[in-house]
């Protein structure tokens, strides 16, 4: 099997509109949560979210591209452009069929769907829809638009596994490169879910925090007073490249992607398995593929959405794999800062794992002041402030509605 490395990254998040700003604010423990500005949330139970701020799609898209695309696609092109520039790839000199795009989005063009259906429902009954309605809506359009924007003609499709989506996309790209089906992939995920239907829908499930009086402290993974996740939006992109191809062109290599795995809980539509059986097996399979044991992992970025049930089931899975007092394993839940980006979560959290490897700094879990007594005392959770610690191997967990578990592992080169 061929080796796969990361040679470029791009990020658009509630705490930073590029990788450097995102990383700097994550290390500083900055929260991206505030009252929703995309619509009037007054009548909603959940009136806050982690929105992208100061986004200007015109940085990488022309006026027609903006008009014809949903925000989730705009986010995708934006971070893909940053990642490709960061990689130093000279696309013009490459066979375009050697470069693919595997992208992810859990919801796709939710805002475009809402806008068109509302216009139809409040109109005179005449079925008049924009010719761009379907292209703005469908989830695969982000991968398609990335390929069109940059002339990438290799394997191209979209993965969907709810909140495990972008790790699934990363895993697929990893496997295609290992099999020799492509030399380079643009991969990751984007999500633009801060809409009335999405906020209302998740709110009706009682899945989100209702701390409307203190949004910045609402996402508190592992804390005894956690009451649900905070919605986030944005995108993250990785350039995955076959190692020898990267080495020959003298590329800067951020890390090696060494293991990835998926399992299913086969348990419930929305709840994770209470004992974390599927998640634990996924972590074990990813480590087996990476050729490492649990004692070699230095940092685990947990899915840690700040839901009462989800956090504990993930802790139980982690205990099955690492034990109750893992000696060297540092843990953080960075959704406490970014909110939950749904299908884009794995991509931005993979970037944090890679940056932790490169810098020897582990980003914190903010807002966690009273750790749930159900969590073993030996768990080394990085709270309040970032921590300086050597990171040679990092694992990123993502879990999605439907019981999807997707795990990736990165190693220092």
Residue numbers annotated as active site = 163, 303, 340
Angstrom distance (rounded) from CA 41 to CA 52 = 17
Contact 51, 36 (CB under 8 A): yes
Compute φ and ψ for 305, nearest 5 degrees.
-85, -10
Give the burial class of 63: count Cβ atoms within 10 A of its Cβ; 0-12 exposed, 13-18 middle, 19 or more buried: exposed
Contact 363, 382 (CB under 8 A): yes
Angstrom distance (rounded) from CA 324 to CA 13 = 33
Contact 171, 147 (CB under 8 A): no
Three-class SS of residue 15?
coil
Q: Which of 351, 339, 150 is nearest to 236 (CA)?
A: 351
Strand partners, 231: 340
Helical (H) or strand (E) element with 408: strand 404-411
Instruction: For residue 294, give the DSSP letter.
Output: G
Angstrom distance (rounded) from CA 145 to CA 102 = 12
Three-class SS of residue 324?
coil
C-alpha to C-alpha distances, 112 to 19, 84, 182, 338, 365, nearest whole angstrom? 27, 27, 33, 24, 34
Strand partners, 4: 242, 257
Give the burial class of 204: count Cβ atoms within 10 A of its Cβ; 0-12 exposed, 13-18 middle, 19 or more buried: exposed
Compute φ and ψ for 161, nearest 5 degrees.
-145, 45
């Amino acid at each position: 099997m061929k080796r796969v490395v990361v040679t470029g990254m791009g990020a658009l998040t509630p705490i930073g509109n590029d990788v450097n700003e995102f990383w700097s604010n994550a290390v500083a423990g900055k929260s991206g949560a505030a009252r929703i500005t995309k619509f009037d949330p007054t009548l909603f139970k959940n009136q806050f979210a982690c929105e992208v701020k100061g986004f200007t799609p015109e940085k990488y898209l022309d006026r027609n591209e903006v008009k014809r695309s949903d925000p989730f696609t705009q986010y995708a092109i934006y971070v893909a452009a940053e990642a490709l520039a960061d990689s130093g790839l000279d696309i013009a000199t490459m066979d375009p069929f050697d470069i693919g795009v595997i992208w992810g989005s859990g919801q796709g063009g939710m805002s475009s769907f809402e806008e068109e259906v509302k216009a139809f429902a409040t109109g005179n009954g005449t079925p008049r829809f924009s010719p761009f309605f379907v292209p703005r809506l469908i989830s695969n359009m982000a991968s398609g638009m990335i390929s069109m924007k940059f002339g990438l003609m290799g394997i191209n499709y979209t993965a969907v596994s709810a909140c495990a989506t972008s790790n699934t996309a990363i895993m697929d790209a990893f496997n295609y490169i290992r099999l020799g089906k492509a030399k380079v992939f643009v991969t990751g995920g984007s999500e633009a879910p801060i809409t009335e239907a999405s906020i209302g829908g998740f709110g009706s499930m009682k899945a989100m925090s209702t701390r409307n009086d203190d949004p910045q402290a609402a996402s508190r993974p592992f804390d005894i007073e956690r009451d649900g996740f905070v919605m986030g939006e944005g995108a993250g992109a990785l350039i995955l490249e076959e190692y020898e191809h990267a080495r020959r062109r003298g590329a800067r290599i951020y890390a090696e992607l060494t293991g990835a795995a998926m399992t299913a809980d086969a348990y419930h539509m929305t709840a994770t398995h209470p004992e974390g059986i599927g998640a634990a097996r996924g972590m074990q399979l990813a480590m087996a593929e990476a050729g490492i044991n649990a004692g070699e992992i230095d940092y685990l970025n947990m899915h840690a959405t700040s839901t009462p049930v989800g956090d504990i089931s993930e802790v139980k899975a982690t205990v099955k794999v690492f034990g109750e007092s893992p000696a060297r394993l540092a843990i953080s839940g960075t959704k406490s800062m970014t909110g939950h980006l749904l299908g884009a979560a794995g991509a931005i959290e993979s970037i944090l794992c890679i940056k932790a490897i490169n810098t020897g700094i582990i980003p914190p879990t903010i807002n966690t002041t009273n750790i749930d007594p159900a969590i073993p005392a030996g768990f080394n959770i990085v709270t309040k402030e970032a921590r300086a610690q050597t990171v040679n191997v990092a694992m990123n967990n993502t879990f999605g509605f439907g019981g999807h578990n997707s795990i990736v592992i990165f190693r220092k080169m």
